[in-house]
């Protein structure tokens, strides 16, 4: 009887092992954690008050010179040490509580950003203000060597439309306007 009991235990163990090993793992959906991108890591913390504010000073500002509707560079940045998120933070600091850019993704040489609440940009800044914002944001975000185009995603309004913008777009547009 003891021999029969041991055989039964052995059979149960084999069956249990088979059942577990044959479990359908196809149905389980593993949760994929998004990998943190180099471009989304914060560079400075708010505790670094003076350094933090200095780091958020504009890189480009809109120039209002006659015959030129283009951003003007106001300071240099170390493109080796800066990230797309830091450049987005610079824009958000300049337009605090008005326009808030969010990093979406980087694909090829295009940086994708979103503006969830675009009413101020598209309805309240006027056409010149919206154009100034988009051109300064484009020039600021294309400071990175690997970003040539910025895709803005927001709800279209009277004064601004979403889409792809590049420095070349503004250069070409300026040539057409002032020939």
Indicate whether this model's pTM tops 0.85.
no
Spatial strand order in the sheet of 102-107: 102-107, 110-114, 149-153, 163-166
The stretches of the chain forming alpha helices (DSSP H) are 2-21, 49-55, 84-94, 119, 126-141, 167-177
Q: What is the pLDDT of residues 57-76, one digit of tens each?
A: 899 988 766 666 789 899 99
126 torsion bin: left (phi>0), alpha (psi -120 to 50), beta (else):
left
Q: What is the pLDDT of residues 147-170, one digit of tens each?
A: 999 999 999 999 999 999 999 998
Q: What is the pLDDT of residues 66-103, one digit of tens each?
A: 666 789 899 999 988 899 999 999 999 989 889 999 99
Output phi, psi for 27, to 5 deg: -75, -25
Longest distance between any two alpha carbons in the chain, whole Å:
104
* pLDDT, mean over the chain: 79
Output phi, psi for 131, to 5 deg: -65, -40
């Amino acid at each position: 009887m003891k021999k029969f009991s041991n055989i039964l235990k052995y059979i149960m163990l084999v069956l249990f092992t088979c059942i577990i090993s044959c479990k359908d793992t196809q149905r389980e959906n593993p949760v994929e954690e998004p990998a943190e991108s180099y471009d989304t890591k914060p560079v400075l913390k708010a505790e670094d008050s003076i350094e933090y504010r200095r780091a958020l000073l504009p890189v480009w500002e809109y120039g209002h010179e006659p015959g030129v509707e283009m951003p003007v560079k106001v300071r240099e940045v170390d493109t080796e040490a800066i990230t797309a998120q830091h450049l987005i933070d610079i824009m958000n600091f300049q337009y605090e509580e008005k326009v808030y850019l969010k990093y979406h993704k980087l694909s090829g040489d295009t940086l994708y950003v979103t503006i969830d609440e675009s009413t101020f940009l598209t309805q309240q800044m006027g056409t010149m203000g919206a154009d100034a914002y988009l051109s300064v944001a484009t020039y600021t975000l294309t400071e990175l060597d690997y970003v040539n185009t910025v895709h803005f995603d927001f709800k279209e309004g009277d004064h601004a439309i979403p889409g792809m913008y590049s420095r070349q777009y503004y250069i070409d547009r300026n040539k057409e306007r002032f020939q």
